[in-house]
Amino acid sequence: MVTPKLQFSGYLFDGKRAKKQPVRIELTPCHITLTFSGRSAESWPYSEIRWAAETTPFHIEHQLNTPEGERLETLVVENPNFYENCQRIAPNDFSRTTIKNSFNWKIISAGALILLLFFYAVFKIVPYYFVDQLADKIPLEWEETIGDAVLSTFPVEKNPDPRVMSLLTDTLRLLKQSKVEETPYNLKVFILPTEQINALALPGGNIIIFEGLLKIADSPEEIAGLLAHEVQHIFLKHSTRGILRNLASGMLLALVRGDANTVMEGVVGIAGQLNTLGFSRKMETEADIKGIELMLEAKINPKGMLSIFKKLLKEELKLEENKKNSSISKNAKEVFSYLSTHPSAKIRIKELEKKIKNNSEELWIPLYPNSNWNEIKPQG
């Protein structure tokens, strides 16, 4: 009896190279034989193959064990009669092995997809709970690494005015020393030479003050108010929480794949957008109240924070007026970026006035009485 043979043409992807290899295919009752140009033929028993697609073009997968390890080969056949002929020439082996394997593969794939979507949904719907738990456990060294990486993306002033830097660093030191609970953060301040009215608190202790914000401040107490607010963002890990919340879903998928580099790149990328992400209303209010408390502990007049916020309110009103003018430039909008990433100054002023109402002014000590801030601050 002559064994029936059916021949087809197709392509093989060998799992080592992206290039497809032309191949002649011969169907027999026991196996599929592949004939190549310039190399020996291969035989794939039906029991060892899996159909990844049962519609044209057909994809047949075969696991190959080599001394270098396992490798998945994929055969692609475009002839629409190929699947039907496999069933016809090997009805017993084909129905018992390949169809069963194909069915199981679909079930496993569907189950895996459903499981992945479930975990994705969980992290998408309730990321805040997990993020807040995680943020409190992140080591200080990790925060510092992220903060330094983000800082390196900003063209901060390399040679700032030593008088301005002395006032900023001394004020930071006073605020840190006045904190009731000891903090491990090494606070540093940097100046960004731009007209934007903004400030950023980075994870780990770095603070970036935009030059435009320094220019509208008229006293060391106002500077202290700004710094006390930003310092509390660091102490309360607001920046770290904000980064993790924006990364929650993408980080889950990267961790499932075991891709730690993607996670870190995502962290730094999101952190670099802190000037546009902003904080939640709750975070800002918390930083305001805690900032006032820190100023009171340092015996610094907390009205400095009120005063600078009133100036921000004035700028906010200007921005609202300019919004009515369709000709407002992109640069003009960027000048007020501090206001766009912080809640309304008007609301915050009212809350701060309530906080400092019952505190005696007799306890407040003037900051740097021998220095004239308006003479040393950036001009222009």
Determine the pLDDT at residue 124.
52
- Asked if residue 1 belongs to a domain, the reply is no
Whether residues 117 and 138 share a domain: the answer is no
Determine the pLDDT at residue 133.
67
- The string of pLDDT tens digits covering residues 32-52 is 899 988 778 888 888 888 776
Peptide bond into 45 cis (omega under 30): no
Structurally, the chain folds into a number of domains equal to 2
pLDDT band for position 132 (cuts 50, 70, 90): low
The encoded tokens of residue 223 equal 């500077």
Are 220 and 368 in contact by the 8 Å Cβ rule? The answer is yes
- The string of pLDDT tens digits covering residues 153-165 is 889 999 999 999 9
| Domain, as residue range, for 288 | 129-376
- The string of pLDDT tens digits covering residues 231-261 is 999 998 888 777 776 655 455 444 444 444 4
Written in H, E and C, the secondary structure of the chain is CCCCCEEEEEEEECCCCCCCEEEEEEECCCEEEEEECCEEEEEEEHHHEEEEECCCCEEEEEEEEECCEEEEEEEEECCCCHHHHHHHHCHHHHHHHHHHHHHHHHHHHHHHHHHHHHHHHHHHHCHHHHHHHHHCCCCHHHHHHHHHHHHCCCCCCCCCCHHHHHHHHHHHHHHHHHCCCCCCCCCEEEEECCCCCCEEECCCCEEEEEHHHHHHCCCHHHHHHHHHHHHHHHHCCHHHHHHHHHHHHHHHHHHHCCCHHHHHHHHHHHHCCHHHHCCCHHHHHHHHHHHHHHHHHCCCCCHHHHHHHHHHHHHHHHHHHHHCCCCCCHHHHHHCHHHHCCCCHHHHHHHHHHHHCCCCHHHCCCCCCCCCHHHHCCCC
* Mean pLDDT for the stretch of residues 134-150: 80
Q: How far is CA 298 from the centre of its chain?
A: 35
Whether residues 32 and 106 share a domain: the answer is yes
Whether residues 115 and 162 share a domain: the answer is no
Q: Model-level pTM greater than 0.95?
A: no
What mean pLDDT is reported for the chain? 75
In degrees, rounded to 5, the angle at the alpha carbon of residue 101 between the alpha carbons of residues 99 and 103 is 70
Bridge partners (DSSP) of residue 189 are: 207
**Among candidate residues 107, 123, 139, the one where a domain is terminated:** 123
**Among candidate residues 92, 123, 154, the one where a domain is terminated:** 123
* Mean pLDDT for the stretch of residues 339-344: 50
Whether residues 229 and 344 share a domain: the answer is yes
Whether residues 269 and 315 share a domain: the answer is yes
Instruction: Give the best-scoring range by mean pLDDT among 12-21, 102-111, 121-130.
Output: 12-21
Whether residues 320 and 207 share a domain: the answer is yes
The encoded tokens of residue 126 equal 């309730």
- Asked if residue 339 belongs to a domain, the reply is yes
Whether residues 115 and 247 share a domain: the answer is no
Residue 183 burial (CB count, 10 A): 14
Whether residues 23 and 142 share a domain: the answer is no
Whether residues 258 and 180 share a domain: the answer is yes
Whether residues 167 and 111 share a domain: the answer is no
Whether residues 98 and 208 share a domain: the answer is no
